[in-house]
Chains A and B, each alone.
Chain A
Amino acid sequence: MTDTDPTIAEYAHPEKLVTTQWVADHADDPNVVIAESDEDVLLYHTGHIPGAVKLDWHTDLNDTVIRDYLSPEEFASLCSSKGITPETTVVFYGDNHNWWAAYALWVFELFGHTNTKLMNGGRAKWVEEGRPLTTDAPEVFEAEYDVPHGREDGRIRAFRDEVRDFSTAGGQLVDVRSPEEFSGERLHMPDYPQEGVLRGGHIPGAVSKPWKAAANDDGTFRSRDDLAAIYEDELGLSRDEEVIAYCRIGERSSHTWFVLTYLLGYPTVRNYDGSWTEWGNSVGLPIEKA
């Protein structure tokens, strides 16, 4: 099932990334479900890859009462409704350089569904190449999905108190927000509403490396050599130690989590999904301003 395209083969885990052509070739593969996950929640409805299902990060993946992800029961039910079995290969793509696609992939892996891939370049590349979009609803048959044994939060997800200890111990923390958010000058990305957090700055000890460093302008990932130059040489991130990435709510850092874990092959990377909207607002937590 691995895409043998040379642009994919160079990465540490080529089984986790596919080209738009691979997706087109597997349109009718019964073992594959294509899932679109966007920031703009209406975008899927204006036209999507034929056969693709929609995964709404906001209403499908998050609990509506607790700031947390679905329960294992709800996850199983979601997968069933999208025609996904535990054996299905789920290929994610979306708008905005695959932020929400990477986020959805990460959430699937929280439930142990690791048979996942990201479509390199996301929705924009598919459109740019003139490939077909449709507004026809995909034909989805209810699938059997056994309820997973809990969530694997410990392996790829970091919580506030763990991050505090990690920060105190001098762990490798990567802040993937914009430089203005890192310094404390802004509370959100440039051109976004400045709101939602009481203090600007970053977690003590974090290094700044905006997520965009890992992406080409067409939305695809930069080459393995380029990525190694940034994360291994420039930031000096060691593979022998854990890395924790964060942003504002965990979507941009899912992108960097994917890069470090699957494109560069770092063995232990966690995403702190509480991110700045939790840390910056929390009582008793220190911040640094650059």
Chain B
Amino acid sequence: MLPERLQRLVDLFASAPKELRIQALLDYSRRVPALPDSIDPGDLEQVHECQTPFFLHTELDADGGVRIYFESPPESPTVRGYAGILHEGLDGESPEAILAVPDDFYLGIGLEDVVTPQRLNGMGAIVRRMKRQVTELTAG
């Protein structure tokens, strides 16, 4: 069961024709918020499984929601697109909701027609590392 916002995104990709999927991924690549000054870049974790530099950090806010921060260069729009999807779909959700997201939620929604399988694996790596961070946040 995916959080409602992420489910809407998944449905959008799954129902869109291929050309629109490319455009949608591109749109999400532009929606990744810049890293706020309150975040120390040294706290970011690199996702080595991605083929281009990609960094991730999560924190709990005052309401117990998970805030997700991403950093990656503009010349890597594909992984930025993943970040945009995950930010739009999951930022602010509860730790339980994020931990319940399957690592492979992105399979079968049509991204495989646009992105090579090897690159698509980067999304799974981001999800796994994000969930591991959330587990650590809630254990502390």
Contacts and interface: CB of A to CB of B under 8 A. Distances in A.
A43 B76 CA distance: 7
Contact of B51 (A39, A45, A46): A39
Nearest to A40: B78
A195 B77 contact: no
A154 interface: no
Interface in B68-83: 74-78, 81
B49 A193 contact: yes
B44 interface: no
B114 A95 contact: no
A42 B48 contact: no
Interface in B35-55: 48-49, 51-52
A195 B51 CA distance: 13
Interface residues of A, number: 15
Given A40-B52, A59-B113, A191-B48, A46 B74 contact: yes
A138 interface: no
Interface string B103-126: 000000000011110110110010
A43 B75 contact: yes
Interface in A20-71: 39-43, 45-46, 58-59
Given A193-B118, A193-B121, A196-B118, A45 B48 contact: no
Interface of B: 22-23, 25-26, 29, 48-49, 51-52, 74-78, 81, 113-116, 118-119, 121-122, 125
